[in-house]
Amino acid sequence: GYRARSAYKLRQIDEEVDLFDRGDTVVDLGAAPGGWLQVAAEEVTEAGTVVGVDLQRIDELEHPHVETVRGDMTDERTRYYLRKALGVDPDPDESEGTPDRPVDVVVSDMAPNMTGEYQLDHARSIHLCRQAFDTALELLKPGGDFVVKVFDGPDLADFRDDVEAQFQYVRAYTPEASRKRSSERYLLARGRTDAPVSAGD
């Protein structure tokens, strides 16, 4: 069985858009207790790699290529340890040439602690989505995919526009398992477009 019922949401997303392939490298943000990690690990098989990040500790998984990083994704140090876990140069500013982008799929199920105050919960959700989006742009291969949970509200349209500018197409999706939480959506962004190379690079 899965560690969290949320695993079924990712199962549905994968069935809907065939997100994962055998051998993929996947980053899972907001991964505790590890339900999505279990689904991703099953799908990529032992040929793939999955790295999960969360504020909370995550009990070890049996898959040989699942690693976890404990930390806050809004903290630069956590991003540093994520790059290290992926075998990417952890200090990209000091490196020469094109940064390494080894990741096929970035998923984020990060959610703020809900206060019940609609505007505040929405704003904090969008803030986490933007952290996940920055991470996706930093690590995804051209053609890579990005899935992010968002609580619906007035800033979603702007966020979606920004994601659309970097991917071939984006759609909003509400898995069956999310229906009872009426404001919860997932943006499914497929096919990260090749980052334009500016003159002088």
Query: Is 139 one of the binding residues for ligand SAM (CB under 6 A)?
Result: no
Neighbours of 8 (CB within 10 A): 16
CB of residue 189 to ligand SAM, shortest distance in Å: 18
Q: Is the dihedral of CA 22, 147, 25, 193 positive or negative?
A: positive
Neighbours of 66 (CB within 10 A): 23
Catalytic-residue membership of 149 = yes
Query: Is 109 one of the binding residues for ligand SAM (CB under 6 A)?
Result: yes
CB of residue 97 to ligand SAM, shortest distance in Å: 30
CB of residue 100 to ligand SAM, shortest distance in Å: 23
DSSP letters spanning 140-175: EEEEEEEEEEEE-STTHHHHHHHHHTTEEEEEEE--
* 7-36: contacts with ligand SAM (CB under 6 A): 7, 30-36
What distances in angstroms separate CA 111 from CA 79, 89, 125, 150, one per listed residue?
18, 28, 6, 8
Binding part of the chain for ligand SAM, among 17-25, 54-62, 98-106, 151-159 by CB under 6 A, reads 54-62
How far does CA 197 lie from the centroid of its chain?
24
72 is in an annotated binding site: yes
Binding site for ligand SAM (CB under 6 A): 3-4, 6-7, 30-36, 53-56, 72-74, 109-111, 128
Q: Which residues are catalytic?
A: 149
